[in-house]
Amino acid sequence: MNGSGAKNHNKPEEMEKLEDRKRIDLTKNEFDLMNERFIVPEMIFRPSDLGMNEAGLAECIVRSVNSCHPLLHPVLYESIILTGGSTLFPWFVDRLEKELRPLVPDYYQVKITTQEDPILGVWRGGSLLASSPDFESMCVTKAEYEELGSARCCKRFFR
C-alpha cells in the first residue's frame, strides 16, 4: 500500500489481471460473480445487515400470517410455497426454516414447499390469472386510478 492507503497496482502482472477482469466477452452467456453471490441472499434474509430498514423474508412471512384471522395461522404456516429464481440459491429453504422457526409459536408446524420449476412458476400463475374470465373485473383501469387514486384500489381489492 502507498501512503494514502490505496492498493499499489504498479506490478505488471497485477495490472494485467485487472485488465483481464475488465474485458467482457459478449459471446458468452455467463459472467463472474464476486461477493454478489453472497450479498443477494443476505438481502433477502437480513436486509438490515446491509443498511436497509426493511424486514427479512422470515419476518415478512410472520407479518403476513399475523395479518390474517388466527384460525388460518396453522394452515398458512403449513402451506408456505416458495417460487422465483431466488429460491434456487443453495440452502435457501433450510435457511428460511432456520430463521422462521424461532418467530413462529411452537404449537404451529412450519412446512415449506418449493416448486419444480420456480423460475416459471410466477409466470404460470400470472398467465392463469390473466386468462381467467373474471380478470377484467379485477383490474383497475388507468382512468379509474387517475380519478380516485389508491382509494379505488382499496375499494376494488379490499371490499
Of 46-50, 51-55, 82-86, least confident by mean pLDDT is 46-50
Q: What is the pLDDT of residue 131?
A: 95
Query: What domains can be seen in the chain, in order of their start residue?
Result: 29-115 (3.30.420.40), 132-159 (no CATH)
- Which one has a higher pLDDT value, 53 or 120? 120
pLDDT reading at 2 higher than 90: no
Contacts for 29 with CB less than 8 Å, ≥ 6 apart? none
Give the three-class secondary structure for 56: coil
- Strand-pairing partners, residue 82, are 114
Q: How many CB atoms lie within 10 A of CB 92?
A: 19
Distance CA 138, CA 136 (A): 5
Q: What percent of the chain has pLDDT over 70?
A: 74
- State pLDDT tens for residues 131-158: 999 998 888 899 999 998 888 888 887 7
Give the pLDDT mean for 27-35. 62
The C-alpha cell 422462521 sits at 100
| Model confidence pLDDT, tens digit, residues 107-138 | 999 999 998 888 888 888 899 999 999 998 88
Give the pLDDT of residue 41: 77
- Facing residues of 81 across strands? 113
pLDDT score recorded for residue 3:
47
